[in-house]
A = this chain, B = another copy of it.
Amino acid sequence: MDNIPKLKDIAKQVGVSIATVSRALNNKPGVGPELRKKILRAAEKTGYTVNILARGMKTRTTATIGILLSDISNPFFAAVVSSMEKVLYPRHYNLILCNTNENPEKEKRYVNLLFSKHVDGILISPVGGRSSESLCREAVRRQRKIVFFDRVIKGIEADAVVIDNRVGMYEAIRYLVNQGHKKIACVAGNNNIYTSTERESGYRESMKHFLPDVQPVVAYGNYREKDSYTATLNLLSNSDRPTAILTANNLTSIGAIRAIKALGMRIPEDISFIGFDDLAWASIYSPPLTVISQPVDIIGITAASLLLRHFEEPTPEKPQKVLLKPELIIRNSVQKI
């Protein structure tokens, strides 16, 4: 009925014990070279593949790792995941994808599910807040391999790969100020989201640094296009409009630009614009958008590599915190005034 070939089948076929077959297939010593070849050939012919579940029962490994992020439909995350896959695939690790949708409850259930599936480790861009914190702390306490990327929870002893969000905002503000701007507004996400908090802080600090007399203006778009649209609309209906807008991520940028266009304003003639995240469309936009660019590939590759290191080097080193630098890419969406 279930004609998936098993160790037993190929053992019977070759006329040896399953132990020998297992050893041969796993390149373990203790099998005659002659016999090994014969076994390998038989395995090939029958189309044998290990049952990773059964193997996992013994070895306590599954070669599977879980990844938790807000939503894969956010191109930033999609790009990061893609670069993670690049390093995981050659090492034969698989990725179980989990959208948390900024929902702590969902995040919790996914983490539990992942561990009950005995993933070897998890890559996580946590939702944030109390729930995330205790969840991750508990995971670390139980010796789970876990690496944060994009977002971290402070005070947890685990590997992390993030960018210096404040520096990103600093560069943007400095550039804007150099171009003569003072009334610079920021469309952020909200304070539950680590990167939004950091970017907003970066914005506020830099404003204070360069323009101590100017009152910072922040609108909250929840990292959602629709909310960012509304938030930006409000921002721009204000009596004294900002001359420049800074966004906190790519979805925010879309919403903000949509609002700008809805009001019949042009970039950069009527308002200057700097977006966070450099996606392909930003560079072909009219005008090409000046953006704060994250090293997307490096984030993914580094995070995945850090996790792999846990599996391959048994020595439990202390957690590594990798801080990557964003880069201001100057194009044509900022007007000199």
**A residues adjacent to B (C-beta < 8 A):** 2-3, 49-54, 56-57, 60, 62, 64, 71-75, 77-79, 81-82, 85, 89, 92, 94-99, 106, 112-118, 142, 225, 251, 254, 257-258, 261, 279-281, 283-286
* A96/B99 in contact, CB under 8 A: no
A311 to B124, CA, bound (A): 30
| 8 Å CB contact of A257 from B54, B257, B284 | B284
Known interface pairs A49-B112, A254-B284, A257-B284; A94-B117 also in contact (CB < 8 Å): yes
Q: Which residues on B sit within 8 Å (CB–CB) of A74? A: 78
CA distance A3 to B143 in the complex (A): 10
A116 touches B50 (CB 8 A): yes
| A73 / chain B contacts, CB cutoff of 8 Å | 75, 78-79, 81-82
Question: Is A53 a contact partner of B51 (Cβ separation < 8 A)?
Answer: no
Residues A118 and B281 in contact in the complex (CB < 8 Å), given A96-B96, A97-B81, A97-B97: no
Contact partners of A85 in chain B: CB under 8 A: 72, 97-99
Q: How many copies does the complex hold?
A: 2
In whole angstroms, what is the CA distance A81 to B77 when docked? 13
Nearest CB on B from A57, distance (A): 6
How far is it, in angstroms, between the C-alpha of A225 and the C-alpha of B79 when the chains are bound? 15
**Once the chains bind, are B117 and A53 in contact (CB under 8 Å)?**
yes
CB neighbours (8 Å) of A62 from chain B are 53, 117
Known contacts A73-B75, A254-B281, A261-B284, then 8 further A-B pairs from the complex at CB < 8 Å, ordered by chain A residue: A53-B53, A62-B117, A72-B81, A89-B99, A94-B117, A95-B97, A96-B96, A281-B285
Instruction: Give A22 Cβ to nearest chain B Cβ, in Å.
Output: 15
What is the bound-complex CA distance between A2 and B115, given in angstroms? 13
Complex Cα spacing A97 to B89, Å: 11
Residue of B nearest to A60 (CB): B2
**A54-B52 contact, Cβ under 8 Å, with A73-B79, A82-B73, A285-B286:** no
Q: How far is the CB of A43 from chain B (nearest CB, A)?
A: 12
Query: A-B pairs with the 10 shortest C-beta distances?
Result: A73-B82, A281-B281, A78-B78, A49-B116, A286-B286, A97-B97, A53-B56, A254-B280, A52-B117, A257-B284
- With a CB–CB cut-off of 8 A, which chain B residues contact A97? 81, 85, 94-97
CB contacts (< 8 Å) of A285 on chain B: these are 281, 285-286
